[in-house]
A and B are shown apart, each in its own frame.
Chain A
Amino acid sequence: MINLARRDVASHLGRYLLTGFGLGLLIGVTLTMAGVYRGMIDDAKVLLRSGGADIWVVQQNTLGPFAEPSSLQDDVYRSLEGLPGVAETGNVAYLTMQVNHGGKDIRVMVAGYTQGRLGGPSFLVAGRPIAQSHYEAVADTKTGFAVGDRIRIRRNDYTVVGLTRRMVSSGGDPMVFIPLKDAQEAQFLKDNESIVNDRNRLADNPAINRPGQPDVLKAVEAIQTASHRINAVLVRVAQGHDPRQVADNIKRWKHLTAYTSTDMEDILVAKLIATAAKQIGLFLGILAIVSAAIVAFIIYTMTLGKIKEIAVLKLIGTYDRTIAAMIMQEALGLGVIGFFVGKFAATLWAPVFPKYVLLETTDAMRAFVITLLICALASVLAIRVALRIDPAEAIGG
């Protein structure tokens, strides 16, 4: 038996391919949206993985340091290291800010860490790690910085000594690693006017500025200007210990909140990017409906253009299932063309997106199945029309 769908498509191949191409661009947008969502999750995970921590210790009763603010004393790590199962710790401070480079502001997440401890970049693609205790930085390649560049963070200039890759915040901002002390200063540094105001207030306070006791005033001033706060302590668990158990011990004995890396992933995915995920999910749903409507409309108009031929086919004895199969195959063909065009387009334009777009094979396979289902469903309307055509329409009068 002749494949009617193949012959019909071949007779107007250009128009059919063009329709498939248009549909493909729409599918490409859908795949890209799914990729943006996957990219957000991956960004969140990469941030957690880059720290190399099994446990994140944060301020008590907070979801810090990304979902909520968290502030800890920077000597907390000493007591943590005394707990059983803790192999290594590292203080970290994070702040999202605009970094000036060549007169242009670039939004980055600055991460302060102690050299040789947890919290630093997990690998370098160029340059060297931070070696000096101040004013050196390692930046993600997405910042556009090069080794040797000078960047300004707050009041100080830093030299980029190394480059890393795929180190971004959950918001997709590239990371810049600097020494912890510098990050603490940058995070809690007041402007000059505030410092002068605070000094004047202290000097005017007779309880602090006592005659004959200038050291009291100096000590209070030092406390106010110095920063010994961090956002979290990262903990690596010793081999043979259960991270969950160690985290529970920290919570119980140190009056801090401790999350395993799995807990942190949940916090980032379920809390921090939940709204964005819902937004994207809704958008994906709308795109699926629009795609279905377009396919239905195209197949419907293609069928309307063949009413007389379908009437003749029915008159000369063609079975309904043969006609339905022709329409269904044409719809599925559009879906297949659309999917491959969409996949190609999404792969082509994904790197141009400012945020990371992660196109996963499983998503693509799922999209392929959904596209075929949508096309099959969309062809139902046209099939209904075709099956209702009366073969008597072929006979005039």
Chain B
Amino acid sequence: MTTEPAILIENLTKRYGSGPTAVDALKGVNMSIAPGEVVGLIGPSGSGKSTLLKCLGAVIEPTAGRITLAGEVIYNNAWKRTDLRVLRRDRIGFVFQAPYLIPFLDATDNVALLPMLAGVANPAARATALDMLTALDVQHRAHARIPELSGGEQQRVAIARALANRPPIILADEPTAPLDSARALAVVKILNRLAQEFQTAIIVVTHDEKIIPTFKRIYNIRDGKTYEEPGEGRPI
């Protein structure tokens, strides 16, 4: 039995501008990631990592190609959904280099906000949020305001938020950049555990030499094209 990929990307291209000044940021990207898998996306600056992430995050429109998310074709030379906000809210999780939590909400409400936006009642959304915070071992800081949390705690709350609506895919943009080795590896360990636990595929965009050896599979992006490489899969 073949497992359906969490995300399947076929011949994805992105062109900025038109005419002689046009720039092809993505020139036929192909990727396939299974549920529960954590892959690294590496490449030099200007190689197209951020463009690919924005295309997958449905914040910019690709020029051509096809994206299938957990069996649903969301892009086939055009978006297949009219409301991309709902797509992002329900089907895609985001983790950023900085946590970018909402500073005027506490940890629970930062996580609960996503289910609430999806129409889940406040008590149920908060219960889900608490489950996620527990999964990330920050449940004891559930009612702390964001400025009161340490950097590591904030990053874990941000991961909990990404998971809140149980998306099939999480896009992590340099999530370990500001952390030291031990903390960076701890975050990767958490991502691996959560990917398995929630059967979520995670794409980790990174430059971080400390964590690259931990991936079992890596996509190297150069000049707008991806090259699949086996990773070391070093245990953490």
Which residues of A are interface residues toward B (Cβ below 8 A)?
Answer: 1-2, 4, 7-8, 10-12, 308-309, 312-319, 322, 390-392, 394-397
Contact = CB atoms under 8 A, between A and B. Distances in A.
A350 B89 CA distance: 55
Nearest to B104: A11
A316 B50 contact: no
A11 B145 contact: yes
Contact of A394 (B100, B103, B113): B100
Contacts of B103: 11, 309
Nearest to B86: A317
A315 B79 CA distance: 16
13 contacts: A2-B105, A4-B102, A8-B104, A312-B102, A315-B57, A316-B113, A316-B117, A317-B86, A317-B117, A322-B117, A391-B88, A392-B59, A396-B96
Given A391-B59, A392-B54, A308 B85 contact: no
A316 B94 contact: yes
Contacts of B88: 315-317, 391
Contacts of A394: 94, 96, 100
Contacts of A11: 103-104, 145
A11 B94 CA distance: 25
B54 A395 contact: yes
B122 A316 contact: no
Interface residues of B, number: 33
Interface string B138-173: 000000010000000000000001000000000001
A66 to B, nearest CB: 60
Contacts of B94: 312, 315-316, 394-395
A317 B85 contact: yes
A2 B121 CA distance: 10
A318 B117 contact: yes
B161 A316 contact: yes
Interface in B77-111: 85-86, 88-90, 94, 96-97, 100, 102-105, 109
B73 interface: no
B60 interface: yes
Contacts of A312: 94, 96, 100, 102
A395 B57 contact: yes
B49 interface: yes
A260 B104 CA distance: 65
Q: Which 10 A-B pairs have the closest CB atoms?
A: A317-B89, A397-B50, A11-B104, A392-B59, A8-B104, A317-B85, A312-B100, A7-B104, A391-B59, A317-B88
A319 B88 CA distance: 12
Contacts of B161: 316
B59 A317 contact: no
B114 interface: yes
Contact of B102 (A1, A313, A390, A396): A313
B174 interface: yes
B185 interface: no
B74 to A, nearest CB: 14
Contact of A1 (B51, B57, B122): B122
B51 to A, nearest CB: 8
Contacts of B116: 1-2
B211 interface: no
